[in-house]
Structure 1
Amino acid sequence: MKILLSALVAGLSMAALPALAAELAPIAPMVPTTSVVPTTPMAQLPAAAAPAQPRIARGLLLLHEGRVFMAPCRDRSYVNVEDVSEGGTVLAALRDFGLAPGNNLYVELMGVQEGGLLRVSGLNFAHAGARCLGEAENEEDWRALGLQAEWAAAAGAGALRVERADAPELRTTYDAVKDDQGARRIEAEGVALSFTPGLCRTGDGKMLTGWRAALVPAAGSALEGCGWER
C-alpha cells in the first residue's frame, strides 16, 4: 500500500511537473512591435545643367562712354558686352583694330548671351566696315584668305574650293574637319588646309580674325593667311 501510494504520489508529482513547470516558467517580456511603414525613395535632385557653350554672335560693335555694346544683325536691340577672355584680350585687340567712339566695327564674337549681356570669350572675325555681311553660301563652314589676298579658300559639306592668283581654281572633296588639340585640319587630294587659334590680320588692315590659316599644296610651300568659321 505504501509502495502504491508512494507510486501514486510519485506519479502525480511527475504528471503535474509539466503543468507546474509551465506555471512557474518565467514570462518572457513583451517586445513592443513596431509597424514597418513602407518608405519611398527620396526624390532625386535634378542634375545640374551643363554650362552653355560659346556660340558665334554677329553684329555691329559700338563703344560709347567707355561701355561696349553690340547691335545684332537684323535686330534693332542692343546687348552689353563683357570681355571674359584671359586678360581681356578680345576687346583690347578690337580697340587696336580701330574700335572707338564713332567708329563701329562688324564683328563675329564667340560668347554666351544671358539676357541683355553677352559674355565674350573669343574672336572669330572682324571687319573695318560697319555693316553686316551676307549669309554664307553653299553651306560653308570655314573660309580663309591669304595675307595679301593672293589666295582664298572655302570649305563646307565635304567640298573644298581653292582660288589662287598663280594657279587654276581647284575644286575637290574631303571626308571631315579633323580636330588636333584645338587646331582644325582639312585634308583633300592635292591640298591641305589648316586653322590654328590665334589673332591674324590681313595685309590691308581691313580684316582681323581669330584663326591663323595655312594652305599647303601638294607641290609647293605653305601659304599663310587668316581664317574664320562661317
Structure 2
Amino acid sequence: MKHSRLVFLLAVLAAFRVLAQQGAADLPPASAEAKIARGLMLEHEGRRFLAPCRHRSYLNVEDVSDGGKVLAALKAFGLAPGRSLYVELLAVERGGSLQVSGINFVHTAARCLSEIGDEAGWRAVGLQSDWEAVAGAGRLRVERIGKPVLQFEYGAIEHEGERYRIAAPGASLNLAQGLCRLADGSALTGWQATLVLEEGDTLQGCAWER
C-alpha cells in the first residue's frame, strides 16, 4: 500500500514538472474567464486531482467557489478515496493548479465520455431520462420515449443573468443555473432545464453546456 502511494505521488510530481516545462498547451488557459475543464477527478490523502482527458498528467484542484460549494457537491455525489468521477468543471488553470468555480456536468462513470460534435451548444435530459434535447447551430432536436422525434429552428439565444432561453416556433428550452441530479443518480449537472412544447407538454430535466 505504501509503495503504491509513493508511486502515485511521484507520478503527480513528474506531471507538474512536465506541465511547467511545456506550458500545458492543451489545458484550460490561465485567463480571467473560466473554461470547461474535462477529466477524471480523484481524491488521495485529503487532496483532489484532475486527470484531464487525453493527457497522462494530474492537476491539483483548488475550489475557489463561494463556501467551497463545488467540492461539497462532488463529495455529496460520491467523490471519495478510491472512487473517481468524470467531471466537467468551470475552471482556470494556473501554474499546475486548477482553480474550479462551478459545475457543468458530472457522471459516475470513471472514464472520459465521448464528446458531442462542435455544433451542440446545450444538452438536456429528463429527470427520469425519458426525454432528451440537444440545441446547437440554430437547431433544437427533441427525443421522447415512444414518440416521434421533433426538430425546430431557433434564432439568437436569449440570456438574462443566470438564465438562458432557446425559443423556437413550437418549443422553448429554458435553462436556469442550479444543481440538478438525475433520478437514477448517474449524473449531476450545473443547470436545471424546462422544456415547453406547443402541443402541451412541460418537461423538467437537467442540462449542461457542450
**Shared fold, TM over 0.5:** yes
Residues 49-92 of structure 1: CA deviation (Å, up to 9, x unaligned): xx610000000000000000000000011101011111101110
User: 87, 97, 100: which is aligned to 2:77?
Assistant: 97
Q: Which runs of 5+ in 2 are unaligned?
A: 1-30
User: 155, 175, 182: which is aligned to 1:202?
Assistant: 182
Residues 142-196 of structure 1: CA deviation (Å, up to 9, x unaligned): 0000000111000111111000125311011111211122211100111100110
Most deviating of 183-192 and 133-142: 133-142
Q: Could you say which residue in structure 1 is the equivalent of 2:196?
A: 216
Equivalent runs, 1:94-173 vs 2, <5 Å:
94-137=74-117, 139-173=119-153
Aligned residue identity for 1:174: Y
The DSSP-based 3-state class of the residue aligned with 1:52 is: coil
- Which 4+ runs in 1 deviate beyond 2 A? none
TM-score after normalising by structure 1: 0.76
Q: Could you say which residue in structure 2 is the equivalent of 1:185?
A: 165
Aligned residue identity for 1:209: T
Q: Could you say which residue in structure 1 is the equivalent of 2:15?
A: none
Aligned residue identity for 1:183: R
Task: Supply the distance in 1 between the matched residues of 2:87 and 2:93 (Cα, whole angstroms).
Answer: 15
Task: Supply the distance in 1 between the matched residues of 2:182 and 2:154 (Cα, whole angstroms).
Answer: 27
Structure 1 residue 109 displacement after superposition: 0.2
Task: Supply the distance in 1 between the matched residues of 2:133 and 2:147 (Cα, whole angstroms).
Answer: 13
Aligned residue identity for 1:196: A
Task: Supply the distance in 2 between the matched residues of 1:105 and 1:212 (Cα, whole angstroms).
Answer: 21
Q: RMSD value over aligned CA atoms?
A: 1.3
Aligned residue identity for 1:168: P
Task: Supply the distance in 2 between the matched residues of 1:187 and 1:104 (Cα, whole angstroms).
Answer: 37
TM-score after normalising by structure 2: 0.83
Structure 1 residue 138 displacement after superposition: 5.7
Task: Supply the distance in 1 between the matched residues of 2:84 and 2:130 (Cα, whole angstroms).
Answer: 28
Q: Could you say which residue in structure 2 is the equivalent of 1:3?
A: none
Aligned residue identity for 2:91: G
Q: Which runs of 5+ in 1 are unaligned?
A: 1-50
Structure 1 residue 221 displacement after superposition: 4.1
